[in-house]
Structure formats: structure tokens, C-alpha cells
Structure 1
Amino acid sequence: MSSVADHIKTYTERFNAAAAAGLDLVFQFNIEDAGNYNLTVKDGACNVQEGDNADANVTLIMDAETFQGLASGETDGMQAFMMGKLRTEGDMMLAMKLNELFPG
């Protein structure tokens, strides 16, 4: 089974630069049992870092199993949110942009 670190890297591979035009956003992923990562979308580029980013526009909080399901496309983000497996802090509408920026 792939690690959270492997799955977070898939976001850079799936990045849709056209959807990111003009955006300057930071997505914070707090994986309760596997560490924190942040993903910066700026100037049509995507950068993943381990750790926290104080400038995060939205923070998504979940366990590793939920994250891996979301990253692989097996888990629907809205469904995970409704089931309480995914919590957000900050601008929740930006969380909805993840599917647009990182198509499966």
C-alpha cells in the first residue's frame, strides 16, 4: 500500500495548470496519523511541501485512509465530509476546487 507521502506527490502529477490560472492558494492537509503537508498553487504551478503553512487558505483534516481514498479517487470528498471523515477549516469553497485543479 502506498504511503501518504506517495499519494501527496500524485497531486503534482495530476495538476491542471489551466484551471489554476490567476490563483494563489495554499491547501493544508493535516493527516492525523501520518503528518502534515501543504500544497501551494501559484502562477500556474503546484508545489508540495511537508509540514504546516501558516498562510493556508483552507485546511483539510482527515486520517491517512481517508486521504489515500481521496487522492486515488476512490473516495468522494463531499461524501467523506458528510460522513465526518473529512473536516475543513478556513475557506471550504476552496476545498471544492481540488477536483478541478487535480482531476483524477
Structure 2
Amino acid sequence: MMKKHRVWLGLTMMMILAMLGSSALRAEDNSTPQQVFDGMRQSFQADKAKGVHARYQWELSGPNGGEWWIDVNDGTFKMGRGKIDNPSVTFITSDNDWVAMSNGKLKGTWAFMTGRLKVRGSQSIARKLDEIFP
């Protein structure tokens, strides 16, 4: 019984430390969402976007938040600030969480499961984003 209790406490502490750790990492990252989107311009993979027609929308809260969009159209893309008509998928999160996800310091799956990231629209198109903009 004592061993099970210690294992449970150990797992609980690991989860707490992991959550605190990701918060600390986010706090240390001085990147802004605009810098992330600027970096995405450089990472675009036209070959992965062939045949893809997708409209991505971001709604980011926080002091560096705002709205951004990307329109992928058969191997090309356009990007801007503001809203896009009829998005295929909309990502709703905070500015800090978006930067942390983009820099690999916060897993998108974890953010989604814990409610820190909301995804409206096509899940398959949402997953395509990582292939098109690695």
C-alpha cells in the first residue's frame, strides 16, 4: 500500500513540475506571435502544399495577441493580420501559448487536451499545418 502511495505522489509531482516547467519556459521566451508568423513564411514547404486548399485563422488573446490568417492554395500561400472569410480551421489560444507551441516548448496535443488551445473546423486540415509549415 505504501509503495502505491509513493508512486502516485511521484507521478503527481512529475505532472506538477512539468506544468510549472512549461510555464517557466514560456515566460523566458521573448518571441512574439508576429515573429512566429514571420518565421513561418521562411519554413513554407510548397511541395507539401500541392493540392491543399486551406484557410487558417488564429485568434490569440493576451498583450501580443490579435488575429492572423494564412490562405494555402495548391502550393502557394498568402498571410496577413485580421480575419479571413470562411476559415477551414480556427485556432484559439493565448499569445504566449501559441509562441510556446511554435517553439516546441508546449505540445499542441497537451494544450488542446487541457483547454489552452481550441480548434474549430477541420481537424485534418489543422493537422496539415505542421507538414506545410514545419
- Report if TM-score (shorter chain) is over 0.5: yes
Question: TM-score, normalized by length of structure 1?
Answer: 0.91
Extract structure 1 runs of 4+ deviating beyond 6 A. Answer: none
- Determine which structure has greater relative contact order: mean sequence separation of CA pairs < 8 Å that are 6+ residues apart, divided by chain length: 1
**CA RMSD of the aligned region, Å?**
1.2
Match of 1:15 in 2: 44
**Matched position secondary structure for 1:53:** coil
Q: Sort the Cα spacing of 1:77 and 1:52 in 2 relative to 1 into closer, same or farther, 3 A.
A: same
Q: Which amino acid aligns with 2:53?
A: D
In structure 2, C-alpha distance between the alignment counterparts of 1:72 and 1:47, rounded to whole Å: 22
**Identical counterparts, % of pairs:** 27
Rounded Cα–Cα distance in structure 1 between residues aligned with 2:104 and 2:39: 11
> Aligned runs of 1:16-95 on 2, under 5 Å?
16-33=45-62, 34-95=65-126
Alpha carbons of structure 1 residues 73 and 46: separation in structure 2 relative to 1, 3 Å? farther
Structure with greater strand share of residues: 1
Unpaired runs of 5+ in structure 1?
Answer: none
2:24 maps to what in 1? Answer: none
Note the residue ranges of structure 2 that are not aligned, 5 or more in a row.
Answer: 1-29
TM-score of the superposed pair, with normalisation by structure 2? 0.72
TM superposition shift of 1:72: 1.7
Q: Distance in 1 between matches of 2:123 and 2:69?
A: 16
Give the match's secondary structure for 1:20: coil
